Structure 1
Amino acid sequence: MADNDHRDAQGRELPGRRWRGVLRRVVPLLLIALLIGSLGALLYTASNASRDHGRALAEQQRSFEIIALARGFEARTARAEVTLARYVISLDPDTGRLFQDQWRGAANQLRALHYATRGSGWQRGNVEALRHAFEQRGKTLSEIGLRTTYDQKMAALAKFHQAGKSRDLQRITALLDRVIQAENARLRERSLAVSLAGDRTEWVGRTWRLFGLVLLVCVLFAAWFANVAFTERRNARRQAELETERADRMEAAVRARTAELSDAYERLKRESGERAAAEDNLRQMQKMDAIGQLTGGIAHDFNNMLAVVVGGLELAKRKLRLKPEEAARHLDNAMEGAGRAAALTRRLLAFARSEPLLPAAVDPDALLSGMADLIDRTIGDQIIVIFRQEAQGWCIFVDQHQMENAILNLCVNARDAMDGRGRLTLTTGRAVLSAGEIGECAAGDYVVMTVADNGCGMTPDVLARVFEPFFTTKPVGKGTGLGLSQIFGLVRQSEGEIRIESEPGKGSSVQLYLPRSMLNADDAAPDAGAFARAPVEQPPTRILVVEDDPRVLNQTMAALSELGHLPIACDHPAKAARLLAHNGDIGLIISDVLMPDMTGPEMIRALPPAFQHLPVLFVTGYAGDSNERADFQDHAVLRKPYTLAALGQALGAVLSGSRRPGTAAAAE
């Protein structure tokens, strides 16, 4: 009867009943499919969450490692530079080797940082720039260490002081800060990723519990799946806790290391301040010592020379009427003393790099051959002199007179070191140097001139001071201590280098490295001094003499009158234009350089255009004027003190239209 309720009169099943049967068969399949799909989606989500969580933790750990490497590199670099400072001050070889080990350790730390950031595109440029700055810094510090190794302590200290302010150190610090800041920013992103992964894992758990309650029909399957999910979740949580604990420990280690680096940085700043104060004190002591030596040495030599000049003039004054021949002899002695004073001035100016040289191409072999007789007469017959000439045609571009004086001074020093007996060897040779191989020499070809003896030698303390002006180990009256300092100035002016090797009891060897000249000695310019000595006859000329010192003005007026010219005195540069306007026949202007209110060149430039064509001869005793040729507008320059003949030659050269540079200076 009930069955008939679901069928019509023809026995067919009613449509509602048919749809309900379909629903009963389909709904369970849909539920199973939904369950399977949901479980699959849940499983996939859980797997992704765990993988993302693990990846985020790994990336977080890598950021901590990169920060630790950057901090370690900064600490090693700071320790290495502190060690280098100790080496420059103490000159202890063990400290120098310790610096090299620490610098190599910093380089290894930098390579480890480079390897750790190989997969980080945003860090590659920073690390490459850091490596380049580190290499540049290494070159600077290596140069300081090399200067220290070769006993150039003062140059090394100055170089280290400059290196402390160099852009390389600032760039290294800035790049390290950039690397650390970038990793800190990345670390914040990764920490956020860890947090998001944990939240997603928790959401998976809540979803699973919800499905467990809703889909109670599949208890067994759900229980098995729940057990698996719970196990995975528990393991993930445990792993997350372990990673979190490890991250906490690493963060604590980073904080401790940062505190250590901060303390080290503060100590380094204190040591830098103490070192700067020590350097200031050292410079002040050296300055006072040099001033004392310079004052004493100049006073001693000039007093001797002035004694000769004053004594000769006084005796000549007494003998002038009764014994003119003896008076002339005393005047010659006075002139010789004045000449020695002028020579000492030129030696001091050459040492200070203010005296202009007259260089020419010189064959070093011919130079030594021409000095053989002079050297033999100077050092005596008890010393055996050996010449080894191996320059083989290579020439040098130097002032021949100054170079002869330098070689002769070295031979005299060798004679004194051998106490008049021994063997002296003078050698010329060739050398091809790379940049910085010998002192500050540039790369290229060099002629090496060596003066070696088998005398007493020098101790390291003496060797460190040989180039100081007025430093000498000879007794009082035997030397002024200007020999080696003069040679040092000459070699540096010639763009060369000097090196001395000496041991007590084994003698000394002085090596002069001079750049090779591509000119031949035969192609050298004619001697400017010979031109100056040539007689120049000129008719009497009216000359305007501008000089603020009345004694020098009177002397110049008398000298010009003696030479047959007609001088007009001008005691102030402001009066020159008026005197020129009132004396239209003036054919030459002689002017001092340093005067009140305006200099000589300023006065010439301020003259009216009507007088700009007049030839000019500047007369000066200031060393720096000879190097300021741009201010002289190519006018001739005569250096004080000068002789009457030198003044005549300079006037002849100017009035004849010859304004070659160096002509007037050579007239001295």
Structure 2
Amino acid sequence: MADGEHQDYRFTRGRAVLRRALPLLLVALLTGSLGALLYTASNASRDHSQALDEQQRSFEIIALARGFEARTARAEVTLARYVISLDPDTGRLFQDQWRGAASQLRALAYATRGSGWQHGNVAALQYAFTARGKTLNEIGLRTTYDQKMAALARFHQAGKSQDLRRITALLDLVIKAENERLRERSLAVTLAGDRSEWVGKTSQLVGLAMLVCILFVAWFANMAYAERRNARRQAEAETERADRLEAAVRERTAQLSDAYERLKRESAERAAAEDGLRQMQKMDAVGQLTGGIAHDFNNMLAVVVGGLELAKRKLKLNPEEAARHLDNAMDGANRASALTRRLLAFARSEPLLPSAIDPDGLLRGMADLIDRTIGDQIIVSIAQEAAGWHIFVDQHQMENAVLNLCVNARDAMDGRGRLMLATGRVTLKAGEIGECQAGDYVTLSVTDDGCGMTPDVLARVFEPFFTTKPVGKGTGLGLSQIFGFVRQSAGEIRIESTPGEGSSVHIYLPRSARDAADVEAEAIAFARAPVEQPPMRILVVEDDPRVLNQTMAALAELGHLPIACDHPAKAARLLAHNGDIGLIISDVLMPDMTGPEMVKALPARFRHLPVLFVTGYAGDANDSADFEGHAVLRKPYTLSALGQALGQTLSAPLSGSRRPGTAEAAE
């Protein structure tokens, strides 16, 4: 074969090979291009889907945070309503709403479990929420156990507490961080869409051979656009929902502010209602005493009248026997005075005024009161084993607690049985009895042999308004008030009861640091106070002629020069005509004007004179604002008690800040 023919053959063969290989190359190129396009489209779809999922997760976290904020706001509003209304259903609603807020917070923590940048914020939010829950639960418990003023004060402080501001700040951090992450995820969605568009443009360049691929990419791009549009709509819906949530939070905040203002306006009314409720409990017990008190008082009056009549008969013939009858009459009068004073002191309403009390002496002083209350069919035994240990409590509240326990025991025994009252001493370890701290404690036990209580009843005895008595026989507030008083005095109360065998109530109260020697020293110092004073002119203002004559005679017996005034309107004129008057003794309740009103109406030049008010009404001695620091002497009083009160009045300088003293009649 010639060289030319050989070259032509190779050229022709090369062209044939090229023609055969070109379709393969084209197929390979198209296949590669299709694969590249498919791969690129697949990556773009995956990135877009992942970006949308992350975007959706951000919206869910923001919604959970807003929902948690709204639930906590509603729970606090419900707590405010509970403190105002004292409605147990409202208290349970608060608990349900607070648990719902806790569930919302757990859902938020679960939703952010994979978000490292949110872990610290959510953990701090859980801690602040727990602290806030303890504060609000404490307010609910104070309200449940009848400490409404303390609950209101605590609620007011909680509204300004650091944990509330911390919760709000942490929620803002969570939402702010998620919004920043949302912007990054929105950028990722945009980039994925741009990549899809690039795939579409590349598919157009491939031509008709890549028509199927172009259509597929176009369809995929359309789907991606639709999803992005749906995502945008969802984002707008979430934004609108967030705006509504913020409006709801603002509305709830405004309602809470209005409720707080109403709380401040109604605080005085609630305080008066609570005092009235406690006073009703006292008066219920006082009502049970009237029969026995009338019997005892008539007996004492019989001793007084009989002694005076016998003394009158024996005065000339047998002076010694007449003096003995006069002593008996004085003893009967003193006993009647003490009985009346104990009853009025028990019945009057006054704030908690703790002092060092001898528990053995307290039971001895209440023996007659308890006998008259529970009746003669119950045998009362008293075991006094405190042995000089004192307690630091309010005496009237303590007497009220003991009397309520005795009345409950009487009802449990159906008016017949044995009642044991006992005091004792015990040293406790920390936490041995309830929340008692380690130290010395005085125990006071009331034990009966009545019907006892079942475990179900025993578990609820301290609940307010819970009672097993028939309608109209009890309010269910006695034991709950005793529980609150004992806890307020840093003590504990325990009840042991067996159905059919009786019950024992044990009260543990901390031993007072002031022992019997300190109390006795104070009593001796008071007894040694000077009684005698130099003679002086005293204006006596009294509307009752008999009392006026008796007071004039008593002052004359003490060596003073009294001037009688039978009406408070005459006091200013008598003071003007007798410039040497150095003291005013005035009754409190008189016609036309009271003693304090008379003193306030005196001309300014007489306001420097010391004043001693005399009253037989138990509630008068508590009106410190009316007495303006002047001393008060209770009727009836003895000659020595009058002299003692005069000495204290003359020795104490008058000042606007001085608290009124109360001079009790000597026994």
Q: Relative to structure 1, is the Cα distance of residues 404 and 345 closer, same or farther in structure 2, using a 3 angstrom cutoff?
A: closer
In structure 2, C-alpha distance between the alignment counterparts of 1:583 and 1:493, rounded to whole Å: 57
Q: Relative to structure 1, is the Cα distance of residues 534 and 162 closer, same or farther in structure 2, using a 3 angstrom cutoff?
A: closer
Q: 1:449 offset after TM fit, Å?
A: 1.0
In structure 2, C-alpha distance between the alignment counterparts of 1:323 and 1:109, rounded to whole Å: 92
Count of residues paired in the alignment:
569
For 1:386-405, what aligned pairs fall within 5 Å after superposition? 396-397=391-392
- Counterpart for residue 429 of structure 1: 426
Contact persistence 1:70–1:176 (CA under 8 A): no
| Residue of structure 2 aligned with 1:293, choices 275, 284, 301 | 284
Contact persistence 1:467–1:488 (CA under 8 A): no
- Counterpart for residue 590 of structure 1: 585
Q: 1:81 offset after TM fit, Å?
A: 11
- Counterpart for residue 579 of structure 1: 574
For 1:324-343, what aligned pairs fall within 5 Å after superposition? 328=326, 333=332, 336-343=335-342
Q: Relative to structure 1, is the Cα distance of residues 462 and 191 closer, same or farther in structure 2, using a 3 angstrom cutoff?
A: closer
- AA partner of residue 449 (structure 1): T
- Counterpart for residue 31 of structure 1: none
- AA partner of residue 495 (structure 1): S
Contact persistence 1:638–1:664 (CA under 8 A): yes
In structure 1, C-alpha distance between the alignment counterparts of 2:391 and 2:292, rounded to whole Å: 33
Q: Relative to structure 1, is the Cα distance of residues 466 and 250 closer, same or farther in structure 2, using a 3 angstrom cutoff?
A: closer
For 1:149-228, what aligned pairs fall within 5 Å after superposition? 155=146, 219=206
Query: Which 10-residue stretch deviates more, 163-172 or 133-142?
Result: 163-172
User: Within the alignment, does 1:59 sit opposite 2:59 as a pair?
Assistant: no
Q: 1:429 offset after TM fit, Å?
A: 1.0
- AA partner of residue 58 (structure 1): E
- Counterpart for residue 644 of structure 2: 649
Q: 1:574 offset after TM fit, Å?
A: 6.5
In structure 1, C-alpha distance between the alignment counterparts of 2:533 and 2:68, rounded to whole Å: 81
- Counterpart for residue 346 of structure 1: 345
Q: Relative to structure 1, is the Cα distance of residues 651 and 529 closer, same or farther in structure 2, using a 3 angstrom cutoff?
A: farther
In structure 2, C-alpha distance between the alignment counterparts of 1:401 and 1:206, rounded to whole Å: 89
Q: Relative to structure 1, is the Cα distance of residues 287 and 104 closer, same or farther in structure 2, using a 3 angstrom cutoff?
A: closer
- Counterpart for residue 141 of structure 1: 137
Secondary structure of the residue aligned to 1:526 is: helix
Q: Relative to structure 1, is the Cα distance of residues 139 and 123 closer, same or farther in structure 2, using a 3 angstrom cutoff?
A: same
| Residue of structure 1 aligned with 2:67, choices 59, 71, 82 | 71
- AA partner of residue 56 (structure 2): Q
Q: 1:339 offset after TM fit, Å?
A: 3.5
Contact persistence 2:58–2:181 (CA under 8 A): no
For 1:87-486, what aligned pairs fall within 5 Å after superposition? 106-114=101-109, 116=111, 128=124, 132-133=128-129, 135-141=131-137, 144=140, 155=146, 219=206, 235=220, 238=223, 293=284, 296-297=287-288, 299-300=290-291, 303-304=294-295, 307-308=298-299, 322=313, 328=326, 333=332, 336-349=335-348, 352-353=349-350, 359=356, 396-397=391-392, 426-431=423-428, 445=439, 447-451=441-445, 453=447, 455-456=449-450, 458-459=452-453
| Residue of structure 2 aligned with 1:543, choices 518, 538, 542 | 538
| Residue of structure 2 aligned with 1:513, choices 502, 508, 515 | 508
CA RMSD of aligned residues (A): 7.0
Q: Relative to structure 1, is the Cα distance of residues 307 and 586 closer, same or farther in structure 2, using a 3 angstrom cutoff?
A: same
- Counterpart for residue 318 of structure 2: none
In structure 2, C-alpha distance between the alignment counterparts of 1:654 and 1:157, rounded to whole Å: 39
Contact persistence 1:424–1:452 (CA under 8 A): yes
Contact persistence 2:52–2:189 (CA under 8 A): no
Q: 1:240 offset after TM fit, Å?
A: 6.4
- Counterpart for residue 635 of structure 2: 640
Query: Which 10-residue stretch deviates more, 560-569 or 241-250?
Result: 241-250
Q: 1:401 offset after TM fit, Å?
A: 12
In structure 2, C-alpha distance between the alignment counterparts of 1:462 and 1:196, rounded to whole Å: 66
In structure 2, C-alpha distance between the alignment counterparts of 1:416 and 1:666, rounded to whole Å: 36
Q: Relative to structure 1, is the Cα distance of residues 332 and 413 closer, same or farther in structure 2, using a 3 angstrom cutoff?
A: farther
- Counterpart for residue 569 of structure 1: 564
Contact persistence 1:426–1:452 (CA under 8 A): no
Contact persistence 1:137–1:169 (CA under 8 A): no
- AA partner of residue 59 (structure 1): Q
Contact persistence 2:59–2:235 (CA under 8 A): no
In structure 1, C-alpha distance between the alignment counterparts of 2:432 and 2:159, rounded to whole Å: 21
Contact persistence 1:430–1:445 (CA under 8 A): yes
Secondary structure of the residue aligned to 1:359 is: strand
In structure 1, C-alpha distance between the alignment counterparts of 2:510 and 2:612, rounded to whole Å: 35
In structure 1, C-alpha distance between the alignment counterparts of 2:461 and 2:651, rounded to whole Å: 49
Q: 1:501 offset after TM fit, Å?
A: 0.9
| Residue of structure 1 aligned with 2:493, choices 486, 492, 499 | 499
- AA partner of residue 55 (structure 1): A
> What TM-score do you get using the length of structure 1 for normalisation?
0.57
Query: Which 10-residue stretch deviates more, 178-187 or 511-520?
Result: 178-187
In structure 1, C-alpha distance between the alignment counterparts of 2:196 and 2:460, rounded to whole Å: 81
In structure 1, C-alpha distance between the alignment counterparts of 2:459 and 2:199, rounded to whole Å: 88
- AA partner of residue 569 (structure 1): A
- Counterpart for residue 665 of structure 1: 664
In structure 2, C-alpha distance between the alignment counterparts of 1:395 and 1:556, rounded to whole Å: 39
Query: Which 10-residue stretch deviates more, 308-317 or 174-183?
Result: 174-183
Q: 1:304 offset after TM fit, Å?
A: 3.8
Q: Relative to structure 1, is the Cα distance of residues 405 and 99 closer, same or farther in structure 2, using a 3 angstrom cutoff?
A: closer
> What TM-score do you get using the length of structure 2 for normalisation?
0.57
In structure 2, C-alpha distance between the alignment counterparts of 1:157 and 1:370, rounded to whole Å: 31
Q: 1:543 offset after TM fit, Å?
A: 0.8
Contact persistence 2:44–2:195 (CA under 8 A): no
- Counterpart for residue 613 of structure 2: 618
Q: Structure 2 unaligned segments of length 5 or more: list them.
A: 1-35, 260-269, 316-321, 470-474
In structure 2, C-alpha distance between the alignment counterparts of 1:49 and 1:528, rounded to whole Å: 95
In structure 1, C-alpha distance between the alignment counterparts of 2:354 and 2:444, rounded to whole Å: 22
Q: Relative to structure 1, is the Cα distance of residues 307 and 190 closer, same or farther in structure 2, using a 3 angstrom cutoff?
A: same
- AA partner of residue 342 (structure 1): R
Q: Relative to structure 1, is the Cα distance of residues 235 and 665 closer, same or farther in structure 2, using a 3 angstrom cutoff?
A: farther
Q: 1:510 offset after TM fit, Å?
A: 3.1
Q: Relative to structure 1, is the Cα distance of residues 233 and 667 closer, same or farther in structure 2, using a 3 angstrom cutoff?
A: farther
In structure 1, C-alpha distance between the alignment counterparts of 2:542 and 2:122, rounded to whole Å: 66
Contact persistence 2:139–2:151 (CA under 8 A): no
Deviations 1:212-258 (A, max 9, x none): 76xx6xx48x977x9888766755654665687799899999999x9
In structure 2, C-alpha distance between the alignment counterparts of 1:313 and 1:193, rounded to whole Å: 99
Contact persistence 1:410–1:451 (CA under 8 A): no
- Counterpart for residue 599 of structure 2: 603
Q: Relative to structure 1, is the Cα distance of residues 449 and 586 closer, same or farther in structure 2, using a 3 angstrom cutoff?
A: same
Q: 1:557 offset after TM fit, Å?
A: 3.4
Secondary structure of the residue aligned to 2:579 is: coil
- Give identity over the alignment, percent: 34
In structure 1, C-alpha distance between the alignment counterparts of 2:599 and 2:463, rounded to whole Å: 41
Q: 1:297 offset after TM fit, Å?
A: 3.7
In structure 2, C-alpha distance between the alignment counterparts of 1:541 and 1:472, rounded to whole Å: 63
Q: 1:338 offset after TM fit, Å?
A: 4.1
Secondary structure of the residue aligned to 1:580 is: helix
In structure 2, C-alpha distance between the alignment counterparts of 1:58 and 1:169, rounded to whole Å: 37
Deviations 1:510-552 (A, max 9, x none): 3333334334443446243773487833343211234566665
Q: Relative to structure 1, is the Cα distance of residues 553 and 302 closer, same or farther in structure 2, using a 3 angstrom cutoff?
A: farther
- AA partner of residue 638 (structure 2): T
